[in-house]
């Protein structure tokens, strides 16, 4: 975009040519002046007077950064009027990471160390399921998300992502297998996708998965954290720092943005859906718009909530809210760049968002279509009210639990289930 002065001059010239009345021209000037304030990172406040003070009261860590538009961070607080209860369904799980409901309501749960178990609705934790391939459980790596084939009733196929040890280090891989009829083992295990390149570092592997209505699988990958490798988030010949979209056999979906070389980049991986991500751990489809929403960990602050568009670049590590762990700015402190997307919302200080979910049940009508975010560092469940793709209210729930929240999902009856990231991890249920 040209400078604001150029934009203003062009607007005035256009207004003159179309003989816009003076008051209309003045209105356009005022609007553009407000826009300039946002683009120059001036302080902004929430436009919604019906909300309370923001839930975040701590000082920002990135002192010189300002949001790009009103409500992009520290939106006004809201408070649920619905009463609910929180019960512990199961305990004693070792750093549980993923949870998916089986058709009968039982839960298939992954543990980061490399184990998979079935947990009953009454909280009975089953034995380890045999057949899980070797997992590199170092740093923040391990066994991650798990999903059922949309056709599970006939195929009994289970999909999961994990850090696979390989020569030279590790890769984040996606595997599938048949859950045996007696539910004791995984049969015919196949690795259908491996992120690239191989790297030795143990951190920022990702990874969350999500099937769409057509049975295509979205998978998130971190950029592997270290300075020398994280730049791969901007490289189209690598799946690091990307969201990919693949078929059930691991091949690229036919209409992906880089499926052909028509974009002029023959080295681009055809499975890439979006790029420029840091460490994305949440995916959910908006129930009304169908848009894909994503949460990702920022550096030291600057966690992001994004709407994912095919082929879009979300900026890391060229632009970011937040600062490096050293205290230095990221890439000179840039938060905007032409051709790169802005987050719908960001958190400073960090809450470390992991799993996300749009609520679609009937048990809590007040929460219909609200977005729930499991917060690790924040140790709460974040509730966000969304209107027209903008966050308009925020509430912190389950703060009294004092637990790192790893994942949130909805049961068939409309209750909400969470898993906590702990050596004595629990499954929690929110109900009426």
Q: Each residue of 127-181: pLDDT tens digit?
A: 999 999 999 999 999 999 999 999 999 999 999 999 999 999 999 999 999 999 9
Q: Please report, rounded to a whole number, the percentage of residues in the chain having pLDDT higher than 70.
A: 88
Task: Assign 304 to helix, strand or coil.
Answer: strand
Band (259; pLDDT cuts 50, 70, 90): confident
What does the block give as tokens for 402? 């004092």
Q: Residue 251 CB: number of other CB atoms within 10 A?
A: 12
Burial class (CB in 10 A: 0-12, 13-18, 19+), 85: exposed
Q: Residue 280 CB: number of other CB atoms within 10 A?
A: 30
Whether the pLDDT of residue 244 is over 90: the answer is yes
Torsion of CA 237, 241, 243, 247, to 10 degrees: 50
Residue 205 confidence (pLDDT): 96
The whole-angstrom separation of Cα 173 and Cα 218 is 13
Band (356; pLDDT cuts 50, 70, 90): very high
Alpha helices in 189-305, H assignment, sequence order:
227-230
Residue 97's contacts (CB-CB under 8 Å, 6 or more residues apart) are 110, 111, 112, 142, 143, 144, 145, 406, 407, 419, 421
Hey, what CATH topology would domain 52-431 get?
A: Neuraminidase (2.120.10)
What does the block give as tokens for 424? 């004595």
Region 341-361: mean pLDDT is 98
Band (261; pLDDT cuts 50, 70, 90): low
Neighbouring-strand partners of residue 174? 161, 193
DSSP secondary structure string, 8-45?
Answer: HHHHHHHHHHTT--HHHHHHHHHHHHHHHHHHTT----
Q: How many residues does the chain have?
A: 432
> What's phi and psi for 14, nearest 5 deg?
-60, -40
Residue with tokens 């690239």: 196
Helix (H) or strand (E) holding 7: helix 4-17
DSSP secondary structure string, 285-303?
Answer: E-TTT--EEEEEE-SBS-E
Residue 329's contacts (CB-CB under 8 Å, 6 or more residues apart) are 62, 64, 323
Give all strands (DSSP E) within 39-94, no chain letters.
52-54, 76-77, 85-93
Band (275; pLDDT cuts 50, 70, 90): very high
Alpha helices in 126-226, H assignment, sequence order:
152-155
Residue 260 confidence (pLDDT): 67
Task: Assign 401 to helix, strand or coil.
Answer: helix
Residue with tokens 């859950």: 179
Q: Residue 166 CB: number of other CB atoms within 10 A?
A: 13
How far is residue 46 from each of residues 74, 293, 325, measured CA to CA in Å? 8, 22, 29
Band (266; pLDDT cuts 50, 70, 90): confident
The whole-angstrom separation of Cα 119 and Cα 98 is 12
Known active-site residue 204: yes
The whole-angstrom separation of Cα 381 and Cα 423 is 19
Q: How far apart are the first and last CA of the chain?
A: 51
Residue 373 confidence (pLDDT): 98
Q: Where are the domains of the chain?
A: 4-39, 52-431
The whole-angstrom separation of Cα 172 and Cα 162 is 6
DSSP secondary structure string, 313-327?
Answer: B--TTTS-SSB-TTS
The whole-angstrom separation of Cα 318 and Cα 336 is 9
What does the block give as tokens for 374? 């499991």
Band (46; pLDDT cuts 50, 70, 90): very low
Q: Residue 9 CB: number of other CB atoms within 10 A?
A: 12
Residue with tokens 């793709």: 389
Whether the pLDDT of residue 388 is over 60: the answer is yes
């Amino acid at each position: 975009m040209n400078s604001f002065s150029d934009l203003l001059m062009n607007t005035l010239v256009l207004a003159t040519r179309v003989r816009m009345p003076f008051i209309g021209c003045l209105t356009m000037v005022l609007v553009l002046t407000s826009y300039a304030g946002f683009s120059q990172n001036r302080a902004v406040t929430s436009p919604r007077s019906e909300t309370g003070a923001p839930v975040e009261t701590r000082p920002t860590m990135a002192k010189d950064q300002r949001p790009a538009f009103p409500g992009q961070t520290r939106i006004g607080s809201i408070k649920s009027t619905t009463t609910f209860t929180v019960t512990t369904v199961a305990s004693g799980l070792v750093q549980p990471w993923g949870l998916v409901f089986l058709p009968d309501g039982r839960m298939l749960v992954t543990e980061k160390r490399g184990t998979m178990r079935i947990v009953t609705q009454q909280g009975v934790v089953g034995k380890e399921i045999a057949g899980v391939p070797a997992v590199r459980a170092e740093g923040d790596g391990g066994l991650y998300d798990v999903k059922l084939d949309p056709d599970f009733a006939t195929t009994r196929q289970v999909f999961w992502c994990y850090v696979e040890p390989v020569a030279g280090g590790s890769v984040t891989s996606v595997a599938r297998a048949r859950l045996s009829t007696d539910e004791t083992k995984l049969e015919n295990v196949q690795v259908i996708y491996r992120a690239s390149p191989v790297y030795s570092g143990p951190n920022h592997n990702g990874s969350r998965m999500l099937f769409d209505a057509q049975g295509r699988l979205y998978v998130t990958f971190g950029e592997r954290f270290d300075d020398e490798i994280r730049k791969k988030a901007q490289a189209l010949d690598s799946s690091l720092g990307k969201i990919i979209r693949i078929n059930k056999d691991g091949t690229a979906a036919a209409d992906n943005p880089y499926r052909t070389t028509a974009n002029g980049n023959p080295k681009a991986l055809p499975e890439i859906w979006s790029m420029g991500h840091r460490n994305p751990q949440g995916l959910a489809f908006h129930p009304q718009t169908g848009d894909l929403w994503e949460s990702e960990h920022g550096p030291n602050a600057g966690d992001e909530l994004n709407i994912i568009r095919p082929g879009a670049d979300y900026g890391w590590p060229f632009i970011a809210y937040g600062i490096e762990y050293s205290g230095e700015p990221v890439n000179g402190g840039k938060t905007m760049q032409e051709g790169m997307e802005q987050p719908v919302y960001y958190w400073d200080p960090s809450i470390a968002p992991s799993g996300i979910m749009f609520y679609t049940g009937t048990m809590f009508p007040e929460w219909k279509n609200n977005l729930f975010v499991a917060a690790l560092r924040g140790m709460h469940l974040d509730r966000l009210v969304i209107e027209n793709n903008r966050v308009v209210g925020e509430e912190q729930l389950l703060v009294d639990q004092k637990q790192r929240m790893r994942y949130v999902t909805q049961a068939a009856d409309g209750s909400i289930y969470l898993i906590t990231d702990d050596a004595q991890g629990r499954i929690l249920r929110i109900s009426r």
